[in-house]
Chains A and B, each alone.
Chain A
Amino acid sequence: MFNQGMSRRHFLSHAAMGGAAVLGANQFLSHLQLNAAEVSKNQKACILIWLGGGAPTIDMWDLKPGSKNGGEFKPISTAGDLQICEHLPTIAQNMDALSVVRSMSTREADHMRGAYFMHTGYVPNPTVVHPTFGSVVSYEVGTKRQNLEIPAFVSIGNGGMSPGFLGMSHAPFSVDAGGRIQNADMGSMDQGRLMARLSMLETIEDGFIKSNRGEAGQAHKDVYGKAVNLMKSEQMKAFKLDEEKPEVREAYGRGGFGDSLLMARRLVEVGVPFIEVNTLGGWDLHNDVFNTLKNQRLPQLDKGIGSLVADLKQRGMMDNVTIICMGEFGRTPRINQNVGRDHWATSWSVLVGGGGLKGGQAIGETDADGTRIVSDSYLPSDLWATVAYAMRIPLDTVHTSKRGRPMKIANGGQPIKGLI
């Protein structure tokens, strides 16, 4: 039965005949590459930059010089019509494209509950799991991108939340900052052997499908088809940063966060509509907030976001890509005895921009000590409604939970007026 003398090359050419299904994908890829540049310019996307732990936004986006709560940093002028922290100079140069909502009031000051509220627009509820907004975008936008072979919601750095009642096919697809995908590596196995395997699999699966037992067999085959397409997809190059010029990589900053943002841009270019970046953590600064910000967090944040915005502008993509930078809450205006700031959800700031939203604005206002909002205040549902607006997702969209309860997209929030 076995031809022991068969050479590897011979084996491969035989095996390849069994894998005709794959050829279609390759042809289609070359077509895609031709159009890639055009596609990237017109497709809407959102990059969520998540500051896990809750960033002290009073030291970043809404400084209070002269107040006892003001802290050590000075405000500087920017390319927009507002001032931000002196340790964010690259972002300052690009503030014409970004705005700050300074009147977030989000009531959840616990890490888990706050993260849930900010990601979904809903407060946690024991009877239903709401989808994180990336899953909503996957559901609403991703399913319409026929050419996309990568999942529509990519989470860099294992963040993200649950897809909730929208189902696991809209769950965040996790990669690390090196672009590695769990279990996508075939080791040393060559394509020929993979195809040989797959043709055996196809034979078995088709047999079961033909046995007339309902839809489950075909559904399984379809999912495997997608997984194989992913493993072989040209779009997987989006995860490979070595194609970028060294100066670009330097500009973003080498290491986790800069690499993640660069990868996010590359993912947008192949058509991924939602990317969450969760590789710059450590914002839960109960102690030593100023030194930590000045020496560690802010320089990375500044380089990464500043370069991302400059890059998107230069590529003509800024009007299509919405950027949101936030964590689960802000931090107390009051500085505690450990020179830290504690959890605070009453009055804090979020950075928003791109996607055709107005840049260079400060939306809303807090009082001189930063403890109280003195303008209209906003909820996460308003932020996500703004993103939905920017991504052309109709705001009257309603989803239905598994128990039949209707849920308005973005919890019925309204796009923030000053941004649209």
Chain B
Amino acid sequence: MQRAVLSLVMLLGLCGVISAQESTGAKASKFTTGSSDPLINDINQFIRQGWEDNGVEPSEVADDAEWIRRVFLDLVGHVPSGKQVEEFMRDKDDAKRSKLVDTLLADPAYVRNQTTLWTNTLIGRGTPDKTNRAGLEKFLRESFAKGRPWNEVAYDLIAAEGRFDENGAVNYVLAQLQLNPNSEEYVVEATAKTARIFLGLQVQCTQCHNHPFNEWKQNQFWEFNSFFRQALRVDHEKYNPQTGQMDDDYSELIRRNFEGPVYYETRAGLMLVAYPKYFGTELDPGPETNRRLEFARAVTKDDSQKLLAKAMVNRTWGHFFANGFTRPVDDMGPHNPASHPELLDRLTDEFIKSGYDTKKLASWICNTEAYNLTSRFNGKKNEIDNPSNGETALFSHMYVKPMQVEQLYESLLVATSANAAGQGSYEAAQGKREEWLRQFMRIFGADDGEEPSLFSGTIPQALLMMNGPLVQNAISAEKGSYLNEVLSSPSYKKDPDRIRALYLAALGRTPTSTEVKNMSGMMSRYPTPLMAYQDLYWALLNSNEFIVIH
């Protein structure tokens, strides 16, 4: 019986029947973060309709501690400090949640976090050969800091030409050009990545054959591919008088001559041709056409399909909820219907209307009722809303997601003041960060296409947390470290206060009285308080509760 219900729900979800016509009986939402934007209420109605249609009752609203930790991690990429949590909990303002969202969106850390996320998406965590990661980061940092419209940023990334240090945007396409320029495959990766990242289309399989279960045809892959045929990477070297050898100097992305169709072979061995064509837009295949630029224009200016905006909305929603309206977020189309198609369309239209304002989009989502719910299930009342079991996401509670490696790193710094403990210059700190992230990447996997995440279940990952240098440093209680501060400050004289301070910093919440009692009991067996506190902090930082966003 249970099973039958589940599969029925799944079936309904797959057919995309969650019709969210405004308040066809869905209870009006009482919850508010204090935001006055009327769109928020509309989003809430769409989501509530989905709950009603599926017979699900949402979980409670998350308490302040749970919510502030989540919104910090999602927007600025690290946990809040213990002090920030306490201040937020004390704040009596009814609009404090919407105000915090505004504050975080204005924080330079938001720009840094977006830059990290997008650099990883565009070129992966392991920088491809002869690609200038710092250049791309600079381009993204400036774009996000200025609040540039997403369609303009995308236009630059797709169409850019120039040196990889002077025009950082070229590094996106350069990163995909790693083969021999005479190879038929030279721009295959640029084609597939661009369709996937910017348009939410998975076309890579159609390189060789018509897709078995979506409507994409092989000719469309090669039509897209033909837009990139003028892209050429040029690598420059310079003579090194010390070694007598040629060293890498810089690389650039230029336009080479290409005209006419591209040729491709079907599985049956038939040779066919494809011309540059993006849905309705057909280009002149002559030599004068700047194909990549025209493609960027077609995609980012007046595309009746609105794919660029839709893909961004879906990806952003997925960033906050660990699930987009489709799974995966970058595979959209009739073969993979959205869970909330009307909401997705509405958000897409509003996003375009806002001038592709990515901060607005983030703000809308953070102010929704769904984003403010606890990650606890509401008993049996929403147990079917469990996407990790393959069910359609209904957003009736927050889904737990693992921290990404950068979030973990930054959070460990915040939680332990490890950045303050025994460190020197900015360069030294950056060097340490890079060294740490390198080790992490090796252990956690750096495969960009598959969204590497923590605790995919490996022993080296656990060992790195248990015995690795960062946590060791964090519990060393050196002068300047958070642990040292807690143990030496007059504000934390009593043991329960100290335990409370460590819980707040690591988990963003206060311990229950039972927890204080249990921990005190275990700690009393230690020969010295220092050892006991070190081990408590070790346990907190190593816990499941620390390493997930919930």
Measured CB to CB, the residues of A under 8 A from B are: 1-4, 6-8, 11, 14-15, 18, 126-129, 151, 162-165, 167-169, 171, 173-174, 181-187, 193, 196-201, 203-205, 207-209, 211-217, 219-224, 226-227, 230-231, 402-403, 405
Contact = CB atoms under 8 A, between A and B. Distances in A.
Interface in B442-482: 444-445, 447, 449-450, 452, 455-464, 466-468
Nearest to A401: B450
A227 B520 CA distance: 26
A167 B205 contact: no
B535 interface: yes
A209 B461 CA distance: 20
A203 B376 CA distance: 19
A184 B462 CA distance: 10
A352 B199 CA distance: 48
A5 B213 CA distance: 71
Contacts, number: 182
Contacts of B140: none
Contact of B525 (A14, A173, A186, A405): A14
Contact of B535 (A8, A129, A187, A200): A200
A187 B135 CA distance: 41
B440 to A, nearest CB: 12
Interface stretch (B106-114, B162-170, B415-423, B539-547): B539-547
Contacts of B535: 193, 196-197, 200
B449 A6 contact: no
Central interface residue in A4, A173, A224, by most chain B CB within 10 Å:
A224
B445 A181 contact: no
B375 interface: yes
B522 A200 contact: yes
Given A167-B456, A183-B460, A204-B545, A2 B524 contact: yes
B459 A200 contact: no
A163 B458 CA distance: 12
Given A1-B523, A196-B535, A186 B467 contact: yes
Interface string B185-214: 000110011000000001011010000000
B241 interface: no
A169 B457 contact: yes
Interface of B: 176, 188-189, 192-193, 202, 204-205, 207, 331, 375-377, 379, 386, 388, 399-400, 402, 439, 444-445, 447, 449-450, 452, 455-464, 466-468, 495, 515, 518-520, 522-529, 531-532, 535-536, 538-540, 542-545, 547-548, 550
Contacts of B524: 1-3
A165 B523 CA distance: 43
B192 A201 contact: no
A156 to B, nearest CB: 15
Nearest to B399: A214
Contacts of B468: 183
Nearest to A222: B457
Given A200-B536, A205-B544, A129 B447 contact: yes
B456 to A, nearest CB: 4
A162 B526 contact: no
A216 B456 CA distance: 10
Given A171-B445, A193-B535, A207 B459 contact: no
A219 B388 CA distance: 13
A141 B400 CA distance: 31
A200 B205 contact: no
Contacts of A209: 544
A403 B196 CA distance: 12
Given A129-B449, A227-B466, A217 B548 contact: yes
Contacts of A231: 463
B495 A1 contact: yes
B467 A127 contact: no
A214 B388 contact: yes
A188 B439 CA distance: 23
Contacts of B193: 126
A223 B462 contact: yes
B457 A168 contact: yes
A419 to B, nearest CB: 32
A215 B445 contact: no
B525 A15 contact: yes
B189 A126 contact: yes
A213 to B, nearest CB: 5
The 8 closest A-B pairs by CB, nearest first: A227-B462, A127-B204, A220-B544, A200-B539, A183-B463, A169-B457, A126-B189, A201-B539
B455 A219 contact: yes
A216 B515 CA distance: 21
Contacts of B457: 167-169, 219, 222-223
A200 B540 CA distance: 8
A326 to B, nearest CB: 24
Contact of B460 (A14, A182, A205, A221): A182
A162 B447 contact: yes
Contacts of B545: 204-205, 207-208, 217
20 contacts: A1-B529, A127-B205, A129-B449, A167-B457, A173-B460, A174-B460, A181-B463, A182-B464, A183-B460, A200-B519, A200-B535, A200-B539, A205-B545, A208-B545, A212-B379, A214-B375, A220-B455, A223-B457, A226-B459, A231-B463
Given A200-B519, A203-B519, A220-B547, A168 B463 contact: no
A288 to B, nearest CB: 19
B14 to A, nearest CB: 14
Contacts of A4: 527-528
A165 B538 CA distance: 32
A215 B375 CA distance: 12
Given A1-B520, A126-B192, A220-B544, A213 B375 contact: yes
B110 to A, nearest CB: 26
B458 A171 contact: yes
A214 B386 contact: yes
B528 A203 contact: no
Central interface residue in A165, A181, A197, A405, by most chain B CB within 10 Å:
A197
